[in-house]
């Protein structure tokens, strides 16, 4: 092989002819100038970084061979069929990112309002004069009734121990100077108690109901190994499920008539994760969670 043509490349191309070929039998192969420069630099032992970059840049453009035997630059890159949708993909990406950012910010704002800032004006006498709290003698129920009484609401305390009810009701009256009312109910017996509760709540403007009564196992155990399983099933279902449904049935109609009121159903994170040792209890907590979600849309409308 031999080189024919200019070395430095002012001519724009070099001609490569096969040794021994007859003149005119094969048209000379004309290389683009950048390729010719690279080949000549190889021959002269001067392959440099600049030459390498020049060759890569040159090879970025596809070339075609025309009918006369010459290789020429086609001048354009082959286009993908997706290139016409570039603008669409761009805006889909922008909208998706914007939506995700909006969701994240809304969760942060909701958490700040719920757990940090609070909204004291949202819960109080404007919902109704009375608050009904189940499981009212200790724990979560007692904390609810104290806070509601602090905001000026009268409190109906429901629990199964009349002695404890009287003690807590006396404390509420002395500390917060609000009226209280007590109702003794054992939610394990669902035959007669709800008629008694209904009669006790008759005529009260109930703004808040706190469904907080609950019971669990004496200790974690597999479902079929629970001691006295028949009684345990009835007890847990009556207290953790039936009570929520029946108390909601008693209180919700008057709230809807006044278009105001709040029902707080106390559930548990345990209801989100199955466990073989607390089968019944977790089932009831999951029920309370789903009941709260299912009852919201029709009551809002």
pLDDT, tens only, 11-31: 444 444 444 444 445 555 555
**pTM of this prediction?**
0.62
pLDDT given for residue 15 in this prediction: 42
Q: What is the mean pLDDT of residues 118-135?
A: 84
Question: What are the DSSP calls for the chain, one per residue?
Answer: -EEES-SS-SSSEEEEE-TTPPTTTS--EEEEHHHHHHHHHHHTT---HHHHHHHHHHHTS-EEE-TTS-EEE--SPPPPGGGGGHHHHHHHHHHHHHHHHHHHHHHHHHHIIIIII--GGGSSTTT-SEEEEESTTSHHHHHHHHHHHHTT-EEEEEES-HHHHHHHHHHHHHHH---EEEEE--TT-TTTHHHHHHHHHTT--EEEEEE------SS---GGG-TTHHHHHHHHHIIIIIHHHHHHHHHHHHHHHHT--EEEE---GGGGS--TTSHHHHHHHHHHHHHHHHHHHHHH-
80 or 132: whose pLDDT is higher?
A: 132
Could you identify the residue written with the tokens 């390498």? Answer: 52
Digit-coded pLDDT (tens) for 141-185: 999 999 999 999 999 999 988 999 999 999 999 999 999 999 998
Nearest residue to 131 via CA among 247, 242, 241, 262: 262
Assess contact for 132 and 109: CB atoms under 8 A.
no
Digit-coded pLDDT (tens) for 208-236: 999 998 888 888 888 888 888 898 888 89
Residues of the chain with CATH 3.40.50.720: 125-300
List all residues 6 or more positions away from 119 whose beta carbon is below 8 Å from its beta carbon: 113
Whether 48 shows a pLDDT value over 60: the answer reads no
Catalytic positions are: 281
Please, what is the average pLDDT of the chain?
77
Digit-coded pLDDT (tens) for 26-47: 555 555 555 555 445 444 444 4
- Arch. (CATH architecture) of 125-300: 3-Layer(aba) Sandwich (3.40)
């Amino acid at each position: 092989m031999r080189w024919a043509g200019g070395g430095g490349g002012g001519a724009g191309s070099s001609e490569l002819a096969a040794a021994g070929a007859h003149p005119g039998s094969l048209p000379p192969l004309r290389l683009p100038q950048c390729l010719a420069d690279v080949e000549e630099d190889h021959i002269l032992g001067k392959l440099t970084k600049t030459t390498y970059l020049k060759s890569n840049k040159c090879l970025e453009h596809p070339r075609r061979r025309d009918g006369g035997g010459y290789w020429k630059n086609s001048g354009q890159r082959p286009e993908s069929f997706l290139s016409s949708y570039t603008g669409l993909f761009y805006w889909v990406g922008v909208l998706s990112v914007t939506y995700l950012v909006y969701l994240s910010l809304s969760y942060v704002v909701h958490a700040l309002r719920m757990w940090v800032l609070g909204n004291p004006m949202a819960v109080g006498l404007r919902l109704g004069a009375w608050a009904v709290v189940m499981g009212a003698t200790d724990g979560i129920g007692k904390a609810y009734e104290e806070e509601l009484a602090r905001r000026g609401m009268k409190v109906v305390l429901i629990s199964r121990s009349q002695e404890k009810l009287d003690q807590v009701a006396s404390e509420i009256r002395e500390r917060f100077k609000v009226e209280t009312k007590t109702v003794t109910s054992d939610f394990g017996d669902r035959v007669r108690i709800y008629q008694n509760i209904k009669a006790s709540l008759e005529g009260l403007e109930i703004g808040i109901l706190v469904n907080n009564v609950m019971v669990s196992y004496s200790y974690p155990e597999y479902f079929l190994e629970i001691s006295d399983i028949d009684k345990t099933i009835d007890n847990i279902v009556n207290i953790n499920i039936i009570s929520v449904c029946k108390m909601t049935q008693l209180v919700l109609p008057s709230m809807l008539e006044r278009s105001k009121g709040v029902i707080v159903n106390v559930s548990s994170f345990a209801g989100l994760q199955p466990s073989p040792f607390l089968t019944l209890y977790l089932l009831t907590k999951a029920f309370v969670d789903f009941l709260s979600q299912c009852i919201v849309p029709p009551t809002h409308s």
